[in-house]
Amino acid sequence: MSGIIFAKHINITFLFVLAQVLLLLLIVLSGSGSAGRQDKNGISYIMRITKLQCIEAPYKRTHLNYCKMIQFPNGTVALNTSLTVPMLVNYAEIVAKLYYKYKTYRPFMVDWSIDYCQAARKGNLNPTAAIMMKIAENSMPDYYYPCPHGNRTYATYWTFEPSYIPTTLPSGDYRLDIYFRDSSRITMYALQMFTSIRKQGLIG
Ligand SMILES: *[C@@H]1O[C@H](CO)[C@@H](O)[C@H](O)[C@H]1NC(C)=O
Ligand SMILES: *[C@@H]1O[C@H](CO)[C@@H](O)[C@H](O)[C@H]1NC(C)=O
Ligand SMILES: *[C@@H]1O[C@H](CO)[C@@H](O)[C@H](O)[C@H]1NC(C)=O
């Protein structure tokens, strides 16, 4: 009996943490944080993007024109990037993997992938796919359309402001890897984002 209760407890904790991770991803990738939030003890957590970079370039089938992180004195960071995809794309796998730094970065909670083209075609999505599509819509509104994709240049300028977030996630350093792959699993574009969550201490 207590075994079942225990399992249930773990499950709910797991779901709760997962919900937090989703929130984190949504905040990070939609570039909008809720300002000034704190928990009932007056502790708030601040999330900052510390580094943003394109990884594994040069790519085999696509051309990375540029990928630059810009840091402003007020803590805002931006990524200015442009990618040319010469071929038509009817399958695009998007993979998101989150890592948490203990001594090294270790996989943490999120290891998701979707076929963007199928998800864009299909109406009813599983919760993970729905979240990923929501993130895609928020972070790339100009490029959020059904497949075929490609045969064009994708230029984006993302900005991220430090955000106050309500969280039960551990403070520390996170890394998010995002891959876009074609049907032969060749990387078309990949992005790495380093994030820190820190306690701000007592406020008010
Ligand atoms: C920080 O500076 C950038 C660039 O000047 C600006 O676009 C952004 O709105 C500023 N953010 C805040 C919160 O003031
Ligand atoms: C992004 O970089 C390109 C190429 O260096 C540049 O022409 C463009 O003005 C930059 N965009 C912004 C918003 O800084
Ligand atoms: C690729 O884009 C060009 C210019 O936008 C267009 O004329 C052409 O029809 C496109 N090719 C395919 C195969 O869609």
Tell me the per-residue pLDDT of 39-57, one tens digit each, with 9 for 90 and over.
556 677 888 889 999 999 9
Smallest CA separation from ligand 3 atom 11, residue: 151
Smallest CA separation from ligand 2 atom 3, residue: 80
Compute, in angstroms, the gap from residue 94 CA to the centroid of ligand 2: 25
Mean pLDDT of the chain: 82
d(CA 100, CA 6): 25
- Read off the pTM: 0.82
Compute, in angstroms, the gap from residue 110 CA to the centroid of ligand 2: 32
All domains in the chain, ordered by first residue? 29-200 (2.70.220)
3, pLDDT greater than 60: no
- Residue 60, CB half-sphere, CA atoms under 13 Å: how many? 7
Q: Which of 80, 81, 83, 158 to mutate to test the pocket of ligand 2 (most atoms within 8 A of CB)?
A: 80
Which ligand lies nearest to the CA atom of residue 90 in the structure?
3
Compute, in angstroms, the gap from residue 151 CA to the centroid of ligand 3: 6
Residue that wins the pLDDT comparison between 170 and 103: 103
The pLDDT of 172-201, averaged and rounded, is 91
Smallest CA separation from ligand 1 atom 7, residue: 76
Which ligand lies nearest to the CA atom of residue 75 in the structure?
1
Residue 161 beta carbon below 6 angstroms from any ligand 1 atom = yes
Tell me the per-residue pLDDT of 98-144, one tens digit each, with 9 for 90 and over.
999 999 999 988 888 889 999 988 877 788 888 888 888 888 888 99
- pLDDT confidence band for 2 (50 / 70 / 90): very low
Q: Are strands 149-160 and 93-101 parallel, antiparallel or unpaired?
A: unpaired
pLDDT of residue 184: 94
> Which of 1-10, 154-163, 166-175 is predicted least confidently?
1-10
What are the distances in angstroms from CA 122 to CA 36, 116, 117, 183? 38, 10, 9, 18
